[in-house]
Chains A and B, each alone.
Chain A
């Protein structure tokens, strides 16, 4: 009896909190398929006909920029994994003077906030003639992701049994073989986590491309969102449809890789 009495407020408050959390997204979705007149007459509910043409209009305006973002984010991911896994391998596999110092040098970079070096980074990229290029949007964010990634990978590599590596060493495997055939295949979970952290960061980057690009050639989709427009009839629906389109790739990533996604965002948060 007592249990049933408790269950009602428990599930009731959960339902309320969940409804409030999801409400903005409900509004986003139902309003994205309305024309202006429909929004005026029926603001809260679903209104027929559903104007999916809002989506095609929005996609025409932001479609090309999604390709840019995919390219840039993937570039960041590949770069971060490459340089960080090599560094982590060095820290775990070898002993040499200054090892600890190098590790601290990399880690301490996590302390430097992005805005502090925003201006000198802009001037540098300008000097390197990388404004308005893909590489100009890949390398600086890559440097941001690398410290955290090195830390995560080093921790993970340390958990791989030393005996495996030593056995391979005895059999005459070179460093390249040990790295490619033993370390990397055993480290796929952490590589997935690092990949997701950096893909998300790449997708979400706003300030840096705002500073480092102008014009349309290499613009990422996030920057294109503020310029989506519909005509008088379509109203705000086109804009909202664009917001949804730009979110779909991350939602898909979340659905296919929920676990590394969640461990990625939580470990990414703790870097502060």
Chain B
């Protein structure tokens, strides 16, 4: 056994420094992860009833209308999220980037990211107030400009609820996307802009031929981040509508939460989580294969 002793004497320091992190990760991430996978094959209420049922949870899931409704909803969230993140924050970043006065540029940058600094729950609660049926900001505005007939209980009606959730944070600039685009623009060599000026390009041509192609790695990154984020939509929906009315705004993560904690169907909830995780994993693999190579951010 001298071999083991010698090995340890030589390497113990390297392993010793890893012990704390693996105690924490082992307890609070690895064990729960394996339990989540295991539980998805059980009928389990979290306490006394626990029975192995094989793939029954998954079979049931693929016949569950609410689950399909939730997939449809995150489809809507993802597509609209991508359209939003591709347009307004990019336009804002270009506009801020071309402000010549550096002091003003910096000030604009700081003011635009204020929503990022506010706790996200405060943002959701504020927008809940904006969308409120009675004395909500949006309805008050519509009444003030004489469009009384356009008022709605925005979050409470099935036709408007999902679009209201998407509308939160309008005009959608105050986020990470804006900062990523801006960083991308700043890394473009200033000589290129000189050339564009000499060529007599107008702002639109410059945007199409110079800025858009040169921030494409940021655009890709933003797309990936948006997809991952939207698929996991949870807190915003929980706070704003709790998935309602009916199933019109429910997301898979929120469905998991409801099944697990309101109905104590812990096994079924875990199956939902596992399917969602596999979808995300596949998307990440696709991303690593086709997109990641060109990513660069600073």
Contacts and interface: CB of A to CB of B under 8 A. Distances in A.
A52 to B, nearest CB: 19
Contacts of A222: 119, 121
Contacts of A89: 17
Contact of B39 (A120, A140, A243): A120
A17 B235 contact: no
Contacts, number: 235
A22 B114 CA distance: 8
Contacts of A254: 117
B103 interface: no
A236 B114 contact: no
A108 to B, nearest CB: 10
B290 interface: no
Interface string A224-257: 0110000000001001100100110011001000
B29 A113 contact: no
A99 B14 contact: yes
Nearest to B177: A269
Contact of A243 (B20, B116, B125, B174): B125
Interface in B178-234: 179-180, 183, 203, 221, 224-225, 228-229, 232, 234
B24 A113 contact: no
Nearest to B88: A17
A246 B119 CA distance: 8
B5 interface: no
B113 to A, nearest CB: 7
Contacts of B140: 43-44
B21 A84 contact: yes
Nearest to B20: A83
Interface stretch (B52-60, B62-70, B104-112): B104-112
A109 interface: yes
B150 interface: no
A90 interface: yes
B99 A27 contact: no
Interface stretch (A160-168, A187-195, A258-266): A258-266
A225 B122 contact: yes
A14 B269 CA distance: 46
B16 to A, nearest CB: 8
Contact of A269 (B129, B144, B176, B260): B176
Interface in B7-65: 11, 13-18, 20-22, 24-25, 27-33, 35-36, 39, 46
Contacts of B155: none
A222 to B, nearest CB: 5
Interface string A117-139: 11111111000000000000001
B31 A96 contact: no
A119 B270 contact: yes
A180 interface: no
A28 interface: yes
A262 B173 contact: no
Interface in A11-49: 13-14, 17-18, 20-22, 24-25, 27-28, 39-40, 43-44
Nearest to B221: A270
A86 B176 contact: no
Contact of B171 (A20, A150, A251): A20
Given A99-B14, A118-B260, A206-B235, A265 B116 contact: yes
Interface string B86-126: 00100110011011000000001011111111111110011
A28 B111 CA distance: 16
20 contacts: A13-B91, A13-B95, A17-B88, A27-B137, A44-B144, A83-B21, A90-B13, A94-B17, A112-B277, A118-B257, A119-B260, A124-B32, A139-B28, A207-B235, A222-B119, A225-B125, A239-B129, A266-B179, A269-B176, A272-B225
Given A83-B20, A266-B176, 17 more contacts: A14-B92, A17-B92, A18-B112, A21-B174, A86-B18, A89-B17, A94-B11, A96-B11, A96-B14, A113-B253, A119-B39, A143-B24, A143-B28, A243-B126, A246-B119, A251-B117, A272-B224
